[in-house]
């Protein structure tokens, strides 16, 4: 059997994490079985579907590297096929027209619920032989006896009594088809062999299977994936952080990290945590998908992303860093080589955005020094170290090849003070704060003129501070 899977999002918003995980599992199953992966846009909700949402889906899929096979299908372009199949069911007496008003249906359901029953259509029009009219819907004639059973890859055998199912509407009064009908027609005509989707569709599956039977079509295999929860156990939502795939891109995550994290949301292979895309394809097995809901853990995603940043090619990270700095309206001085900046921070940064934030002090003047750092290290005892450092930096002939660590060490030895008495004031002078990379590494990236300028500025700030305090 040729394996053909599909991802069929509705373009009513962005590509969210849950949808991306469903797409990934469908994609991996197809690739693992040398099959095809189809992208289908279910845009029959004309009021809520937007072109921006369609583009957001395309953008998210492309960013994650999940390429579809063949054309992209749009349900709105397939109305003639749906109309033909609706007529077929009507001709075969597998569907019928219904003219029950909304008021009647509401009153019927309210009465059923008050009686402790399940709200469902009572079949009033089922055997009236009505013809089409402006207010008529088309209902599928669901079997009234027997059970619907299917063996789900994740949930196992699921059985539903047909008495629990009512005659669902498959076409509205204006002729537009409904979801449970269109999805079946599409899956039949696209030869979908495996339907992989969220477990919120489990209740739809028995209804759809009955439509397959009515059309005498082969029924695909089903796999219903558990939902994704936030780390607090509640359904994943905005308050748990970004839930749109492209928000993770905007927040400085790498696509391979997000992909790696998504594959671990409900699936595992032994105790392995990190997977290349090729390893995912080779190892993925639907039967190893967990039945229990998955908890989204941002800390785990951050750990994975940091790993991929550390492993990434520095030139690629430079381009990503440039994009982030552009968003922040930061102009990089021509004297600074971003490769050196990336190499300095790639072991420290969790995201590209954090890398940009950590490196900001290199790209613009220090407007203020950290107050705690100033109080701690900008003391009278720092004047001579600053002056000595400025003299030694000015005397360097070839800055690129100079051993700047030795320059700082020589200052410590010459003044016969602890390393902190020189290194700590210098760090604040270079960065405006008390923490950061090694001073010599910062100086190499900043360049000779800028390192001297920042140290001179710190010295003048210190002298002005001491004068104001009446200490000199």
The domain that contains 449 carries what CATH number? 1.10.10.350
* Same domain, yes or no: 423 and 321: no
pLDDT of residue 238: 66
* Same domain, yes or no: 273 and 389: no
Q: Which range of residues forms the domain containing residue 376?
A: 365-472
Q: Are 289 and 266 in contact (CB under 8 A)?
A: yes
* Same domain, yes or no: 110 and 63: no
When pLDDT is cut at 50, 70 and 90, the band that residue 359 belongs to is: very high
Q: What is the mean pLDDT of residues 337-346?
A: 96
Res 240 pLDDT > 80: no
Q: Which segment of 7-21, 233-247, 357-371 scores lowest on mean pLDDT? A: 233-247
| Domain count across the chain | 4
The token pair that represents 14 in the structure block: 């962005």
Q: How far apart are CA 117 and CA 110, in angstroms?
A: 10
* Same domain, yes or no: 218 and 274: no
φ, ψ of residue 130 to 5 degrees: the values are: -70, 155
pLDDT of residue 241: 64
Q: What is the mean pLDDT of residues 72-84?
A: 96
Question: How far, CA to CA in Å, does 218 sit from each of 73, 186, 189, 418, 419?
Answer: 21, 13, 11, 80, 77
* Same domain, yes or no: 103 and 186: yes
pLDDT of residue 302: 96
pLDDT of residue 253: 98
pLDDT of residue 74: 96
pLDDT of residue 13: 85
Q: Last residue of some domain: 304, 322, 354?
A: 304
* Same domain, yes or no: 264 and 278: yes
Classify 238 as helix, strand or coil: helix
Q: Which segment of 80-94, 181-195, 238-252 scores lowest on mean pLDDT? A: 238-252
Q: What is the mean pLDDT of residues 295-319?
A: 96
Q: Last residue of some domain: 326, 343, 363?
A: 363
* Same domain, yes or no: 217 and 319: no
pLDDT of residue 269: 92
Over pLDDT 70: what percentage of the chain?
Answer: 99
Res 233 pLDDT > 90: no
Chain position carrying tokens 């790498």: 254
Number of Cα atoms under 13 Å in the Cβ half of residue 339:
3
pLDDT of residue 377: 94
Q: Which residues contact 329 (CB under 8 A, 6 or more apart)?
A: none
Res 231 pLDDT > 90: no
Q: Last residue of some domain: 183, 199, 225?
A: 225
pLDDT of residue 242: 66
SS (H, E, C) the chain: CCCEEEECCCCCCCCEHHHHHHHHHHHHHHHHCCCEEEEEECCCCCCCCCHHHHHHHHHHHHHHCCCCCCCCEEHHHCHHHHHHHHHHHHHCCCEEEECCCHHHHHHHHHHHHHCCCCCCCCCCCCCCCCCCCCCCEEEECCCCCCEEEEEECCCEEEEEEHHHCCCCEEECCCCCECHHHHHHHHHHHCCCCEEEEEHHHCCHHHHHHHHHHHCCCCCCEEEEECCEECCCCCECCHHHCCCEHHHHHHCCCCHHHHHHHHHCCCECCCCCCCCCHHHHHHHCCHHHECCCCEECCHHHHHHHHHHHHHHCCHHHHHHHHHHHHHHCCCCCCCCCCHHHHHHHHCCCCCCHHHHHHHHHHHHCCCCCCCHHHHHHHCCHHHHHHHHHHHHHHHCCCCHHHCCHHHHHHHHHHHHCCCHHHHHHHHHHHHHCCCCCCCHHHHHHHHCHHHHHHHHHHHHHHHHHHHHHCCCC
Its pTM surpasses 0.75 = yes
Element (H, E) at 208: helix 204-214
* Same domain, yes or no: 129 and 191: yes
* Same domain, yes or no: 102 and 159: yes
Q: Are 171 and 180 in contact (CB under 8 A)?
A: no
Res 237 pLDDT > 90: no
* Same domain, yes or no: 205 and 91: yes
164: domain CATH number? 3.40.50.620
Q: How far apart are CA 99 and CA 138, in angstroms?
A: 9
* Same domain, yes or no: 300 and 258: yes
Over pLDDT 90: what percentage of the chain?
Answer: 90
* Same domain, yes or no: 386 and 469: yes
């Amino acid at each position: 059997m040729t394996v053909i899977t599909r991802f069929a999002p509705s373009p009513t918003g962005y590509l969210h994490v849950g949808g991306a995980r469903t797409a990934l599992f469908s994609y991996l199953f197809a690739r693992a079985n040398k099959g095809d992966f189809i992208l289908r846009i279910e845009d029959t909700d004309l009021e809520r579907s937007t072109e921006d949402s369609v583009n957001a889906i395309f953008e998210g899929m492309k960013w994650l590297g999940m390429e579809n096979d063949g054309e992209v299908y749009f349900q709105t372009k397939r109305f003639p096929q749906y109309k033909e199949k609706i007529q077929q069911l009507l001709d075969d007496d597998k569907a019928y027209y219904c003219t029950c008003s909304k008021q009647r249906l509401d009153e019927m359901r309210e009465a059923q619920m008050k009686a402790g029953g399940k709200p469902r259509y009572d079949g009033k029009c089922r055997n009236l032989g009505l013809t089409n009219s402006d207010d008529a819907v088309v209902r599928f004639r669901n079997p009234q006896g027997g059970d619907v059973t299917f063996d789900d890859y994740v949930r196992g055998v699921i059985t539903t009594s047909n008495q629990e199912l009512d005659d669902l509407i498959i076409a509205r009064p204006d002729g537009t088809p409904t979801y449970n009908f269109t999805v079946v027609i599409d899956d039949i005509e696209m030869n979908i062999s495996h339907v992989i989707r969220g477990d919120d569709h489990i209740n739809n599956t028995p209804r759809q299977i009955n439509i397959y039977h009515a059309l005498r079509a082969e029924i695909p295999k089903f796999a219903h994936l558990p939902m994704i929860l936030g780390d607090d156990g509640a359904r994943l939502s905005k308050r748990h952080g970004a839930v749109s795939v492209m928000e993770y891109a905007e927040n400085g995550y790498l696509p391979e990290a997000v992909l790696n994290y998504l594959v671990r949301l409900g699936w595992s292979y032994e105790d392995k945590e990190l997977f290349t895309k090729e390893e995912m394809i080779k190892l993925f097995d639907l039967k190893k998908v967990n039945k229990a809901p998955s908890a989204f853990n941002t800390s785990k995603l951050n750990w994975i992303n940091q790993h991929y940043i550390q492993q990434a090619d520095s030139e690629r990270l430079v381009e990503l860093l440039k994009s982030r700095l552009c968003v922040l309206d930061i102009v990089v001085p021509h004297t600074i080589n971003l490769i050196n900046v990336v190499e300095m921070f790639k072991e420290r940064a969790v995201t590209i955005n954090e890398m940009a934030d950590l490196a900001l002090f290199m790209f613009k003047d220090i407007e203020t020094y950290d107050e705690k750092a100033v109080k701690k290290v900008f003391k009278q005892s720092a004047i001579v170290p600053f002056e000595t450092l400025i003299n030694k930096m000015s005397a360097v002939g070839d800055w690129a090849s100079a051993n700047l660590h030795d320059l700082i060490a020589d200052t410590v030895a010459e003044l016969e003070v602890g390393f902190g008495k020189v290194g700590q004031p210098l760090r604040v002078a270079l960065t405006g704060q008390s923490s950061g990379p090694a001073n010599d590494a910062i100086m190499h990236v900043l360049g000779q003129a800028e390192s001297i300028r920042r140290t001179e500025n710190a010295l003048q700030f210190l002298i002005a501070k001491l004068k104001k305090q009446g200490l000199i």
